[in-house]
Each structure stands twice: as C-alpha cells, then as structure tokens.
Amino acid sequence: MRSMQCWKNSLYLLLLILLILNLCSCRTAAGRTPGQVVDDTSITATIKTKIFNDPYLSGFAVSVDTFQGEVTLTGAVESEFAKNRAAELAESIYGVRKVNNLLVVR
C-alpha cells in the first residue's frame, strides 16, 4: 500500500514538472515568446501615441506595425518633412531595431 502511494506521488511530481516545462516554453506560431509580443505591442502603442500628439502628423492616417522590434510605417502624409518626422519618432523609441518607412507623400 505504501509503495502505491509513493508511486502516485512520483507520478504527480513528474506531471507537475512536465506542466511547468511546457508553460516555460510557450511560443507563438512565429516562434516568439509572450514577452516579445508584448514588447512589440508596447512599441507600436508608444509610436502611435507620439504620432497622434505630434503637430505635424496628428491629422494623417499613419499605420504602425511592429515585429521583433522592426517597425513598418504605412499610409500617406502631406510632405517629405512629415514622412521623415514619423521615421524619427519611431526610431526614438527604446526597442526599435529598424524602421521601414513606407509612407507616401501625396
């Protein structure tokens, strides 16, 4: 009887260890950890806030996407100055590795 209880406890411990290991290795379909996804989301939100509050860019529809610290800006702006300003704002954010400025001047 005692060996049966010991066996059950060992099995529970093994299952707990496997569960913990599984949770520690969680990744998205793209192979990113939840922390990396949150970082990208934070970068995107910060850039959008800066663009919204910027007097040269606030009236334009600028889309911001971030993947692994690489930011892509899309949309249309009024001038080359506004296009460069958006890129400068994005580059100023901690965690941004690269900015793809695909904004179009109309």
Domain extent at residue 52? 29-105
Total number of domains in the chain:
1
Mean pLDDT of the chain: 84
The pair of structure tokens assigned to 68 is: 């692994």
What is the average per-residue pLDDT within 10-32? Answer: 67
18 domain-assigned:
no
23 domain-assigned:
no
Q: Is the pLDDT reported for residue 101 higher than 80?
A: yes
- Best CA proximity match to 94, nearest among 40, 31, 33, 37: 40
CA-CA distance, 57 to 62, in Å (whole number)?
8
CA-CA distance, 51 to 60, in Å (whole number)?
9
24 domain-assigned:
no
Task: Say if residues 64 and 73 touch (Cβ distance below 8 Å).
Answer: yes
16 domain-assigned:
no
Between residues 82 and 15, which one has the greater pLDDT? 82
77 domain-assigned:
yes
Supply the pTM of this predicted model: 0.68
What is the average per-residue pLDDT within 23-45? Answer: 70
CATH number, position 82: 3.30.1340.30
What is the average per-residue pLDDT within 5-26? Answer: 71
Between residues 8 and 69, which one has the greater pLDDT? 69
pLDDT digits (tens, 9 = 90+) for 35-59: 666 588 899 999 999 999 999 998 8
CA-CA distance, 2 to 106, in Å (whole number)?
80
- Residue-level pLDDT at 34: 62
Confidence band, pLDDT 50/70/90 cuts, at residue 9: confident
